[in-house]
Every structure is written in C-alpha cells, then in structure tokens.
Structure 1
C-alpha cells in the first residue's frame, strides 16, 4: 500500500547524474565546461551508489543478526561508544533489548530495503562526521502465519567510520524531522507468544491472559469459516499490548479516540488473505471491561473482518462490514435482539434522547417519533466514529440490517450481498453500488430494504 509513496520519496532524494545536470545547467560555464561538470556529476553519482551499497551491507548484517538472535553481532553494527558517547551506549543497549524482546517471536524472515537517501535533515547533535539519513523499509514474516512480508518504516542515520564501514548512529528514537518509526509490538518490551491451531498471540501481558486470548482466537476461526467459507487464510495474529498508550502507539493514533473499542483489525482493503494475515490489536482497558461472552463476541467479530478483508473495499458501507462482523459474532450465543441492542432499545423507548442516527422527520411523538428519527436511514459511515451510546446504537442498527437479510432471505444471501457490493467496483458511488447489489441479491432496492429493516427493528424491540 505504501510502495508508491516510498518510491516517489526515493526518486526525490536520489542524487543522479541526470538530476544534477538538469538542475545545474547554469553552473556549467562556471565549472569550466560541460565535460568538467559531467565528470563531477559522474563522480558524485558513483559515490552515492558506493555509499548506498555500504549502508545496505550494514543493513544486511543487521538482518542476519536478528534472524540468528545474535545480539552481539547486531550491536557490532552500531557506532562505537568511544566515538558516540552516551547516545551510542544507549543505542547499543537497544540492540540487545530488541533481540531479547524477539526471543519468543517465530520469525520466518527479516530484511531491510532502503527506500530513500537524504530522507530527512541530519540533526547536528549527533556529530559532524560523514553521515547519511535514510528511510528504510523493514520487511518481516511470522513463520506459519505470513506468506508475504509485513512491512514497517524506519528512519535511520548511518555514519562512516575511519575504516570505511558505515555503522548505525541513530535508530530514529531520538526524534528528528521525520514522521517517526512504525511501532511494532517488540519495540514495546519482551513479547510472549502463544501459538494455537489457528492463531498466534503476541503480547506483553501475563501468560494466563494471553492463553485465554489465544483460546478465544482459536475458537473463532472455525466459527467464522462456518459462515464465510474456507477461502481465506483461516489464521489470525492477535496483538495484546499492556497499556492504552502502547495500543495507541501500535495504531499510530490517539488511544482516547478508541476508548469504546475493544479491538481493531488492521489491513489493506481488498487485500487477499491467502498471503497476508491481518493483525487484530486489543485495547487492554476496553477488553478487560468485557464479560467472557463479550470477549468471545469481539474476537469473532474481528476474525470476521480478517476473513472478509479481500471483499471489503472503500465503497463497502460500514453498516454492512460492521454488521456482518457483529452478526457472525453473536451467532450461537443465544442472545435475543433485546439483549444485543440494549442502547438502541433504550433510545427508542425514551424518544431517541441520545441524539444518534438519521436525519429524517420526527413523524409524530413517543416511540413512533423516536423510531422515525433513529431509523430514518441505515447508519452512515460517520456514525461508527462516534462515542457511546450513539456508537453502540450504530453497531446495533448494523446488526439488525444483517438480521433482516438473514430473516427474510437466508444467511447465504448475506454472504452473497457482501460479495456483490465488492463486485460493483463502487461505480456511481457507495449508495448506487449498494442499491445495485441489493437488487441483484435480494430483489429489492435500498428504499424497500430500509423500510423492511425499520419494521424488523420496531417489531423486535417493542416485544
């Protein structure tokens, strides 16, 4: 997903003879002629290529050391403490910590690729020797779970030593004028790994908690496959940070924005699951507040997102993507609509005082007026970015929409509808795509489906 942007950055920062000549036409005469300038440009180009090769050799040594769990060899790729001072000592210590943190992680591959040179301004505090700032793509693979490399971005500084070697002088943790390294769970502390039949849990929590998470993850995979088939990887990787700030760091987001969300599945929309296993990241405070049933529902919900990722696109409405995840999550739990949609039922009973959902006319008073306000339309994508209780109401409306499909057309049609929305290619926009998919699979358009959904909600929650 980031390859195109990284490629553009690499082109922008690469010093080539063509770029130098194009930018320095006005300097040719001052340099004594085109021949002298071309020779200088060629020499500069050759030096950059040599520099790149030397940095990549150091990165290759680092990758070999990580895979071998050889902390001493990894530390040997760092500038000497004698020349780098306390900063170099701290950097060297972080190499030992990285290897220790990875001890239980089943790595199948670990490699680096330079994506840009001169990627950010060099901070003066790190010294005045010959240095280069590079943007690097770390590619790693979890053995037994990733058939393709997962990638992360790092911003590193290398410094040339008197013997000609280029060693790591900064791993990007000192700040600097760059976006910041992608945070991976082993950057946060020693990782414990719990491997099951279908799942891998990587976490910083106590062994008993991680084992319980792994048991739920293993149970969820066959339950999801029973609905969505076996045409996905049928495996999950769950990340279990210890604290909210760690959760936010892994998502590169403000954890406060996810206060009411127990877990998040990350991955590329439309990506095939045959080669990539998406990551399910648990929000520790929200997760711990759930009952055992709640944790089971959430785990199955997120596993459904993994299973449907290949058919989830930018035009897939969130009422459908979140609705099918909740529908699958609640299957077999024995929970009634009233038990599942507590907040929505309360809002209907109180006249919609939570202020969530829809912009239709009030249409009367009391419960009928609340229904008109709350159920004027299927929830919009933006409704899933709110806070409690409106956020819960959006999810509950989405669950009811999928229930209506199953209730009147069968579960197979719900699966078919999801695929049909993806197959539209988003032509004409989301609303048009959904309307076409509804007509193709259920024989009704959005208006008729919404009316049926509204009637089903009112019927179920007024019993």
Structure 2
C-alpha cells in the first residue's frame, strides 16, 4: 500500500496502493466454461404479477443474448441488441468490449502510445469521487533499464473467460423509468416500456487460454437501461439515464467495481507460477511493462513463498494499466489522486467460510513503466506479500506492520544501501532526529514528506526485527499484530512475538537506526 489515510480504509479494505517516488515501495481450474444461464433471478419479495414476470423474462433473454454476442464476435448480432436511440459512445463501448472478448486467432501487438480510454458501457458505471491510497515504489532500480526490450512485443491475445453471465439483480428502490426528451423519443419510436435495473456481471477469468487462472466467480454489480418494443428488449445505456432519486446526490459514494474489459484494448498473457497459471491483463501502451512483469512474476511468487511459506495461492492476476483513468478505475479511487502510485492490490470480497479472497488483483499504474526489470520485481514482491497475507490481516491492522513487512519482502535478497532505500529518513537521522515511535496510520495519509518517512520508517523497523530477532519472529509478529484491535492488544501481540515490550523494541530500533547512517 502507500500513503493512505484511515479514512481511505473504506478503499484500503479492498485496495492497497504503492507510491512512485524515491524511497520505499510504499503501497501499497480445469473446469470448462459454463454456458450462460437463462433462469430468471428471483427479484420480488412477493410473487410478481404477470407484467413484472414478463418484463424480467424479456430482459433476462436480452442479457443472455448480450453474453453470447460479446464472446462470439458476432458484430451484427450485437448491433441488433442495441437500441437505435442509444448514444454512439454507448454503442462504441459495447463494440470495444466485444473486440476484447471475442475469439482471436493470433496475439496482437500493442501500440507504443496509450490512447485516452473511456470505460466501456458493458460495465455500466456511476462515477463518484473517492480518496486515493498512494504507495511508494522502489528508489533503486527505478530508471529505465538497458535490459528492457528494445522494441514493442506482443502483450498477449484476447482474454478468454472461463465463464460469463449477465443477470438481473434484486432492486429495493423505486422503479426507474426513462423520462424527459429521451422518453418522448422512445415513445415516438414505438417503445412500450423502459426500465433502469440493477444487473450483475458474473465472470471468472481464464486468461490467454482456458482453463487458465483458477479463480472463484466474481459478481460485479452494474446498472442497465433497456427499452421494450413488442416482445423484444433493447440495450439503451447505463443507469445514468435515470438516476436513482432515493440516493442523496451530496453523499460521497465509492466508485463502482469494474470488469477487466471496462476499457478497450485488453489483452491477456499466461505465466506459469508455483500455484498454477497466473495471468497478466494489459492495456495499450504497456508492452514494455508487460515484458518485465512476464520476466519477474514467477520469481516474485517464489520469493514471497520463501518468506511466508506455501499456505497461500502462489499465483496472481496482474493488471497493467496504460492511463491514469484505467488505474483509478480499477483501484476505485479518484483520477489525479494516485499520480505518484506505482501499484495497488485490490479485491472484490472475502468469503470467510471458504477462507478465499474473491477477485484479488495486483494493478500496476502507468508510472510503473518507468521502473527497471529489478524495480518491477521489488513492486511485485511487495504487492504479492499483500496477496499472501490478505486472509491473516484485519482491516484495522496497523500500517507500520502491513507496509513495513511488505516492503521488507519486496527488498529481501537485494543489495541496497540504507540511505538509497530511505533517503528522507537517513537525512533526518543524520541531522540528529531519530524517530521516537513507530508511525501511526495518519502518518501514511498523503503523499508528503511525512508519508515518505512513514513508509521508510516502517520498512526499517521490519528490517531491524528480521536482523535482530530473525525472520521467523518477524513473521510471528506479523501474524499476531495483524489481528488488529486496540493499541493495548497489538502491543501485547508484539511483546508475545518478540519477547520484549514495544517500548524496548522501539528503543533497540532507534539504536540500530543510528548505526545505519554515519
């Protein structure tokens, strides 16, 4: 993760970001594809009347046809589902989604410059402002590497989904119909009914091939506007065509979760890793970064396993973004607030009963393209540490622990000078100002000198613990303190893991710090 506020824990509970500025890397199956279902999801707390049932059945048939059209490449079939009064932007977004999901006979090469992308209407959205959670990226090795590919290389091939289904979702709010000028035009065109309804896009990745990545099905809530002509329904747009009047427009709402094909130009590549197939999803302009990730992903999984053990999935989905809009969209943050970020970890939800993280992704920012191959390796090891520890980390675990240990693993095995990794901290120590306490969560809140010091301090404390007490106790400390809770509880957990109380550990750390900077 990276500079992040506790307020952004609303995001951080599903997102951990990493900041690209000098210093620490702050952050932040074999089953076949299921055929689309035609069963109608129960939508009513009381038995529906004939009109409601007929409407639900008709829209369900439309959603099934949409799934088939997107994955088959049948452009004429897709166009037949779109209302003539739909905007060109909506139609083009569906075309882009189909281009990304249709069968492709051979890999495509990426363009060298990323065009400005807009989200696909195949993933209807309700944009809303949200605080970002920036995170730091490696200082050493953060310059373009001479080992990087000299020319653009193919990023992969079209994404092959293991399963995809669009279906109606329950709605508890008031009925939303299309009114105004568009409503009049629809009526003149012969539409007998309109409806804005929540739907769910349920999907599981394959990758460049099926079965590809073995992951649980992910449910992404969306909204869709549709119009009826006789017995047929047409796709009209997203939920913005008839905003939900029961929602307070002044209330801050978290940005929606996006499907991978929400932006055009998506390609997928598969990489063998210890836990099975991993996949790299990428967007235009990212070919060089993809090549570096392809080189470093399997070693990064192995490096995290060497520290944490093999009790984690040991595979990952990496999303390499080419524009700030893509990075903000997939991390559910506000554009412009993550300009310094290098990467983030996100997930859809945690299934506590199955002890499974649903929809976990490592998202690389466009700025990650500035990193060398070695720098990408540090970022991947850092982010994959968050992936490995997710089920053992409470939402309120202290950030000095979660970010410090992730950064330690990211740097583990590399030969870097203390002052290179922690320049601001080194300067402070050289001036005689040695930190007197571990950073608090509020110290990670924004991309400032204080935030950079927080990341560098947390990395240095984890490194100190590993050197003085050993990596086994560092891991033991993580497992104990990451359970979160009041300060008294986390202090007791630290003491139980290290055998000394927090005050003693901090005093030892301060002495150790003084020896690192001469």
TM-score by length of 2: 0.69
* Alignment of structure 1 residues 140-151 onto 2, 5 Å: 140-143=203-206, 144-151=212-219
> For residues 100 and 179 of structure 2, what CA distance do their matches in structure 1 show?
28
1:239–1:282 CA contact under 8 A, matched in 2 = yes
2:327–2:364 CA contact under 8 A, matched in 1 = yes
1:194–1:211 CA contact under 8 A, matched in 2 = no
Deviation for aligned residue 1:111: 1.3
Deviation for aligned residue 1:14: 6.4
1:15–1:45 CA contact under 8 A, matched in 2 = no
User: Which whole-Å deviations, capped at 9, do the CAs of 1:165-202 have from their partners, x for residues lacking one?
Assistant: 22222134768458775433422211122221133211
User: Which whole-Å deviations, capped at 9, do the CAs of 1:354-393 have from their partners, x for residues lacking one?
Assistant: xxxxxxxxxxxxx1xx22xxx1221111222221432221
User: Which whole-Å deviations, capped at 9, do the CAs of 1:282-324 have from their partners, x for residues lacking one?
Assistant: 1213x23434433321121111111111111112111111111
2:262 is matched with which residue?
Answer: 187
* Alignment of structure 1 residues 319-358 onto 2, 5 Å: 319-350=400-431
1:77–1:167 CA contact under 8 A, matched in 2 = yes
> For residues 80 and 500 of structure 2, what CA distance do their matches in structure 1 show?
67
Deviation for aligned residue 1:442: 1.3
For the residue of structure 2 that corresponds to 1:259, the secondary structure is coil
Q: Work out the number of aligned pairs and report it.
A: 395
1:277–1:306 CA contact under 8 A, matched in 2 = no
Which structure shows the bigger proportion of residues in helix conformation?
A: 1
1:260–1:388 CA contact under 8 A, matched in 2 = no
Deviation for aligned residue 1:256: 2.7
User: Which whole-Å deviations, capped at 9, do the CAs of 1:68-117 have from their partners, x for residues lacking one?
Assistant: 344433333322x2xx2xx3555444332211023411211111232234
Cα gap change, 1:268 to 1:379, in 2 (>3 Å): farther
From 442, 446, 454, the equivalent of 2:510 is 454
Deviation for aligned residue 1:459: 2.2
2:296–2:377 CA contact under 8 A, matched in 1 = yes
Deviation for aligned residue 1:432: 2.5
2:296–2:373 CA contact under 8 A, matched in 1 = no
1:49 aligns with 2:53: yes
2:221 is matched with which residue?
Answer: 153
1:413 aligns with 2:494: no
Relative contact order (alpha carbons < 8 A, sep ≥ 6): 1 or 2 greater? 2
* Alignment of structure 1 residues 21-36 onto 2, 5 Å: none
From 353, 357, 363, the equivalent of 1:281 is 363
Cα gap change, 1:14 to 1:433, in 2 (>3 Å): same
> For residues 175 and 181 of structure 1, what CA distance do their matches in structure 2 show?
17
User: Which whole-Å deviations, capped at 9, do the CAs of 1:304-353 have from their partners, x for residues lacking one?
Assistant: 11111111111211111111110001011111323221111012334xxx
1:436 is matched with which residue?
Answer: 492
Alignment root-mean-square deviation, CA: 2.9
> For residues 451 and 459 of structure 1, what CA distance do their matches in structure 2 show?
13
From 334, 358, 369, the equivalent of 1:254 is 334
For the residue of structure 2 that corresponds to 1:314, the secondary structure is coil
2:279 is matched with which residue?
Answer: 200
Deviation for aligned residue 1:275: 5.9
1:98 aligns with 2:97: yes
Large movers: runs of 4+ above 6 Å: none
User: Which whole-Å deviations, capped at 9, do the CAs of 1:34-60 have from their partners, x for residues lacking one?
Assistant: xxxxxxxx7x63422332232222212
2:168 is matched with which residue?
Answer: 114
For the residue of structure 2 that corresponds to 1:257, the secondary structure is coil
Unaligned runs of 5+ in 1: 3-12, 18-41, 351-366
Cα gap change, 1:230 to 1:16, in 2 (>3 Å): closer
1:315 is matched with which residue?
Answer: 396
> For residues 284 and 119 of structure 1, what CA distance do their matches in structure 2 show?
41
Deviation for aligned residue 1:139: 1.5
Deviation for aligned residue 1:279: 1.0
1:136 aligns with 2:199: yes
1:381 is matched with which residue?
Answer: 441
> For residues 238 and 426 of structure 2, what CA distance do their matches in structure 1 show?
52
1:20 is matched with which residue?
Answer: none
2:227–2:233 CA contact under 8 A, matched in 1 = yes
* Alignment of structure 1 residues 67-78 onto 2, 5 Å: 67-78=71-82
- Structure number with larger C-alpha Rg: 1
> For residues 385 and 50 of structure 2, what CA distance do their matches in structure 1 show?
52
1:231 aligns with 2:326: no
2:178–2:242 CA contact under 8 A, matched in 1 = no
Cα gap change, 1:235 to 1:277, in 2 (>3 Å): farther
